[in-house]
Amino acid sequence: MATRAKRAAKRRAALTRERILRAAINLADRDGIESLSMRKLGQKLGVEAMSLYNHCQNKVDVLDGMVDIVFGEIDLPANGVDWQIAMRKRAVSARQALLRHPWAIGLMESRATPGPATLRHHDWVLGTLRTAGFSIDMAAHAYSILDGYIYGFTLTELTLPFSNSEGAAGVAEIAGNILEGFRPDEYPHLAEMAVDRAMKPGYKYGDEFEYGLDLILDGIHRAQDSV
């Protein structure tokens, strides 16, 4: 069995932190973060779980690395663009990255040490605002509102029971949820909203994102001008 192990080792690429993190992201995307274990991760890479500890400190380190990769997937428009357009593009790309990796937001809450892609991202946002003439205080305000909105909206979107369903199947599912979940007279406004919007074919909660984003960008623009 020594020969069998050797052959297996030859067949597979060398284990690296990078490969481990990629595999972990794939597993989490497919099966959910709660079912990601060091043992399954090793198995996916054709290796015993214990081998992972030669390349990552522990599971927390793996989770930190995964979050940093998600940050790295967010597009940061080239310098020189109007700040409002740049912030808008970044916000849209951030939401998409967070939807691709639904486990990421939940993980952020407990990450203590931001990785290099995370730091680069934040530095880019602040730099774009400062270059556009924002004061330090105003840049902090804008940064805090925008990031709050992006994370919070996407979190809400991911939490909705029907976020990913579309078309007829989605409508049926929504109707089912509503009728099962609560009596309409107990929550009349929720029922009204569900019937008039959520159950309309073609409705997607995600479409709300850009309305709020533009309202916020407009508010920041207004506050910035009045300084």
Partner DNA sequence: ACCTGAACACCGTTCAAGT
Q: At what angle do helices 83-100 and 208-225 cross, to 10 degrees?
A: 150
Enumerate residues 5-44 that contact its own copies by CB under 8 A.
Answer: 34
Cβ closest to its own copies, residue 81 vs residue 126? 126
The answer to the question of residue 170 lying near its own copies (CB under 8 A) is no
| By CB under 7 A, residue 55 contacts DNA | yes
- Beta carbons of 125 and 89 less than 8 angstroms apart: no
Using the rule CB under 7 A, is 15 a contact of DNA? yes
Task: Provide, rounded to whole angstroms, the least separation between the CB of residue 204 and its own copies.
Answer: 12
**Sequence-ordered list of residues with C-beta below 8 angstroms from that of 149, at least 6 positions apart, any chain:** 91, 212, 213, 216
Count of CB atoms within 10 A of residue 140's CB? 13
Residue 220 engages its own copies in binding (rule: CB under 8 A): yes
- By CB atoms closer than 10 A (0-12, 13-18, 19+), residue 126 is middle
CB of 217 to DNA, least distance (A): 41
The reply on whether position 122 binds its own copies by CB under 8 A is yes
Q: Does 31 bind DNA (CB under 7 A)?
A: no
The reply to whether 159 sits near its own copies by the rule CB under 8 A is yes
Fill in the DSSP letter of residue 55: T
26 binds DNA (CB under 7 A): no
User: What is the spatial distance between Cα 128 and Cα 82, in angstroms, rounded to a whole number?
Assistant: 9
3-state helix, strand, coil in the chain (%, to 5): 75, 0, 25
Residues near its own copies (CB under 8 A): 34, 102, 105-114, 119-120, 122-123, 126-127, 130, 136-137, 139-141, 144-145, 147-153, 155-156, 158-159, 161, 181-182, 186-190, 192-193, 196-197, 205, 208, 211-212, 215-216, 218-220, 223
